[in-house]
Amino acid sequence: MQEHIQRTLILFKPDALQRGVVGEILTRFERVGLKVIGTKMIAPDAQHYFQHYEEIGQLQTRRGEQTMANQLKTMSQGPVIAMVLEGVEAVDLVRKLVGSTEPKSAAPGTIRGDFSHMSYGYSDATDQGIPNLIHASGDLDDAEKEIPHWFSEDELYDYSVLHEKFTR
Q: Pick from 165, 158, 137: which is nearest to 149 by CA?
A: 137
Q: What is the DSSP string of 67-85?
A: HHHHHHHHHTTS-EEEEEE
Separation CA 6–CA 10 (nearest Å) = 13
Separation CA 48–CA 150 (nearest Å) = 9
Given 4, 48, 52, 135, the catalytic residue:
135
Is 135 assigned a catalytic role? yes
Q: What is the DSSP string of 22-84?
A: HHHHHHHHHHTT-EEEEEEEE---HHHHHIIIIIS--S-GGG-HHHHHHHHHHHTTS-EEEEE
Catalytic residue annotation:
135
